A and B are shown apart, each in its own frame.
Chain A
Amino acid sequence: MSGASETAALDSPAPRRTFWSAALMPWLLMSPALLIAIAFFGLPILFMGRMSFNAHIDQRFYVPDFTWDNYAAMLTDPTFRNAIWTTARLALISSIATVIIGYAFAMLVWLKPKRWRLAFVALALCPLLISEISIIFGWWMFFPKNGLLSYALVSSGLITDKISLMYTEFAAFVGLTYVTLPFCFFILLSIFDGIDKKVLEASADLGAAPLRTFHEVLLPLTKGGIAAAFAQSFIWAVGTYATPSALGPDTLWTIGYLIQEQMLGKHNWPRAAAFSIVLTVGVAIVMMIIRMLSSKRTALNG
């Protein structure tokens, strides 16, 4: 092809079409998911944001208005400030515990022969097959003075008097961890499944002890999964209100509890929406921080 014809080819509409096609193609491919995300997540959040600026002046759920009162009230409300701290603390501790337990469990399933895998996966699926309310009832049978735990400890001679762990922060923490564990486990298992087990052998051949292999090979390779699993657990733990409310002490007021109190008890939709917006923004900030931290590349993950 001559130089002139090449220039002509470059100027022709075909390459321009190719350029536009290339630019539009990702958006076209994404559009179904994008539409779903906008319809089911974007619009409700926009609606919730708008609701948070309405007024609540009488027995009606809300009166159309544009006021910052609901946000201003949060600054002066000690219950809300305490609830932020309580929610964040509980979610953080339970998410860390969930990631540690989920990581160990996923690694065990990954390392075990394939014939064990189905049984372990089925075990991890169990909490997802039962409603949160049923799980709460289960803990109500487990933690009280006349519950299974107390009975087992007394029967085994470890303690002499019955004990109750019901309505303690520990019970709330265990309940939250149990609810979020399966999500964490499956995320981490998918990450482990993407790792070639030969890297463990290679590390051992080069003389690394198991702990060093874990620290310098496995941990860097699963760092992204750990961040994703932590994020998933944290979102669940922050938003769940039934479990900490039913298992924890009377004074364990989480933001979720305050939202349902405003929404159902007081019928104050604008205040409930304002609480929800603050919670959503808070979770988004935590997610961005996790993403920033986990995107730092290492020598191993490139």
Chain B
Amino acid sequence: MAFDDIQNGISRRGAMKLALGAATIIGAPAIIGRATPASAQAAFAGEGLIVVSWSGNHELSFREAVVKPFNDKYGTKVETVGGWDQMVAQIVAAPADNPPFDLTIADEYTTTTGMAQNVFEKVDRSKIPGNANIYPWFDENRGPAKDYGVPFGTGSLWMLTAKSSGLKPDSWKGFWDEKAMGKSTLDASAFYWDLCIPALLSSSKPGIDEVFGSPDDVEALFKELDKLKVAKWYKDGAELTNLMTQEEATVAMMYSADAYGFIKEYGDDFEAAIPQEGTASYTNWFMKVRGTRHSDLSDLFMSYLLEKETQQNFLNASTDFMSLQGLEPPAHWPSYPRDEAALRNTYKLFGIDGWDKFGPNWDAYSVRMKETITKTTEG
């Protein structure tokens, strides 16, 4: 009788709601990070999620060290796609309720644009257990944007030298060394990172603050870059790899997103490290995209990103500093900073407030950079 009552009394839509409700109840603990994999599997098995990571070696490491183990654990169909400059534009171009991906990696520049375009969705980080154990440094310069995602790690500038060059990647001064004349390569596109190198070497302001200073401060940095003799200003990671492996250049500024993959492949002939002066950095946050149709699975994935095992796995296959405290230095990076003081000493953040100061002068600096490129490559 009871069975009949249920059959007669519940419409198809009602049954759907009941099933959804049950799935939510089963999935709720998983979303807040306290579920057993079995209950989370029941809620999310087979569900897809698209996560953007930095295109190139970062994407490869992220797929192997994070996405695959997550899918194995929860039976989901999470996939990662590579992106670089275009993520916010893609979200803006798509319908508000059907974005092209659900989570996106975002440094300070992407975040600033994304916040201005209102493309992110709020995340309740208090429900994520790993959140309590992240380095406070990550939230300090984040402003309101910290409520829209989770910090996964830090990208930075690394110095790469060919062993045949006679130079070690231990000081940024190496770019101005006689041995590097006509054999160095730096980024032509994201030129603000090039400016950070003379800023790290300068003692007139702390860290990389000259970059956020007056136009005269920045002009002094350009003048230092003008003294270089560059083999080729690269426009992307593939070109950088080609320049180094074809011996067109022997000293390079390389992003940490690419450094691990490069050394793994060509470590016999090259060395990469963060020089003693420290490095300029950006943070890698995973931001929830507005209108995502997989909000709960996004929450579960973000919670997974802050698990110690996930962070350690990724660190073991990368040269990014991770957001969680208490990780073990990987074999390829014995000098990995182990505490907040070492983090602050090594990494100088190109923060959101830095962008607010640098951004208005971009066009003028871009023209000036072209002058530097012309000067350093002629002859």
- A interface residues, Cβ below 8 angstroms from B: 58-61, 77-79, 137, 140, 144-147, 164, 166-167, 245-246, 249-251, 253, 261, 263-267
Contacts and interface: CB of A to CB of B under 8 A. Distances in A.
Contacts of A147: 246
Nearest to A143: B246
Chain B interface main SS type? helix
Nearest 10 A/B pairs, CB to CB: A59-B116, A264-B85, A144-B246, A60-B116, A250-B377, A250-B233, A140-B242, A59-B112, A250-B373, A59-B113
Interface in B90-121: 92, 112-113, 115-117
B338 interface: no
Contacts of B342: none
B117 A251 contact: no
Interface in B353-379: 355, 359, 362-363, 366-367, 370, 373-374, 377
Q: Which of A61, A250, A264, A265 has the most CB of B within 10 A?
A: A250
B248 A166 contact: yes
A125 to B, nearest CB: 26
A145 B235 CA distance: 20
Nearest to A245: B235
Contacts of B92: 61
B367 A79 contact: yes
A246 B243 CA distance: 11
Q: Which of A58, A79, A167, A267 has the most CB of B within 10 A?
A: A267
B201 to A, nearest CB: 23
A245 B190 CA distance: 15
13 contacts: A61-B113, A61-B117, A140-B246, A144-B247, A145-B246, A166-B248, A246-B235, A251-B373, A251-B374, A251-B377, A253-B370, A267-B88, A267-B89
Contact of B85 (A140, A250, A253, A265): A265
Contacts of A261: 189, 366
Given A58-B116, A251-B377, 5 more contacts: A61-B113, A140-B242, A144-B246, A250-B233, A266-B363
Interface of B: 84-86, 88-89, 92, 112-113, 115-117, 188-190, 230, 232-233, 235, 238-239, 242, 246-248, 355, 359, 362-363, 366-367, 370, 373-374, 377
A61 B118 CA distance: 11
B112 to A, nearest CB: 5
A145 B117 CA distance: 46
B117 A60 contact: yes
Contacts of A251: 370, 373-374, 377
Contacts of B377: 249-251
A299 B115 CA distance: 66
Contacts of B366: 261, 265-266
A253 B367 CA distance: 12
A264 B366 CA distance: 14
Nearest to B189: A265
A167 B377 CA distance: 11
Q: Which of A59, A140, A147, A261 has the most CB of B within 10 A?
A: A59
A297 to B, nearest CB: 47
Chain A interface main SS type? loop
Nearest to A266: B362
Given A60-B117, A61-B92, A146 B235 contact: no
B208 to A, nearest CB: 19
A133 to B, nearest CB: 8
A250 B188 contact: yes
A265 B232 contact: no
B356 to A, nearest CB: 9
A47 to B, nearest CB: 12
Contact of B232 (A60, A250, A253): A250
Contacts of A263: 89
A268 B24 CA distance: 42
A5 to B, nearest CB: 65
A79 B374 CA distance: 12
Contacts of B248: 144-145, 164, 166-167
A146 B115 CA distance: 46
Contacts of B113: 59-61, 267
Contacts of A78: 367
Contacts of B370: 79, 251, 253
A166 B188 CA distance: 17
Contacts of A79: 367, 370
A147 B126 CA distance: 55
A97 to B, nearest CB: 25
Nearest to B110: A267
A243 to B, nearest CB: 12
A140 B232 CA distance: 14
Nearest to A82: B370
A146 B373 contact: no
B262 to A, nearest CB: 16
A35 to B, nearest CB: 23
A145 to B, nearest CB: 6
A46 to B, nearest CB: 17
A188 B313 CA distance: 58
B359 A145 contact: no
B233 A61 contact: no
Contacts of B246: 140, 144-147, 166
B350 to A, nearest CB: 15
A245 B362 CA distance: 21
Contacts of A249: 377
Contact of A146 (B85, B189, B239, B247): B247
A61 B112 CA distance: 11
A249 B379 CA distance: 12
A189 to B, nearest CB: 35
Contacts of B117: 60-61
A245 B290 CA distance: 35
B89 A167 contact: no
Contacts of A137: 238
Contacts of A59: 112-113, 115-116, 355, 359
B354 to A, nearest CB: 13
B303 to A, nearest CB: 29
Contacts of B363: 266
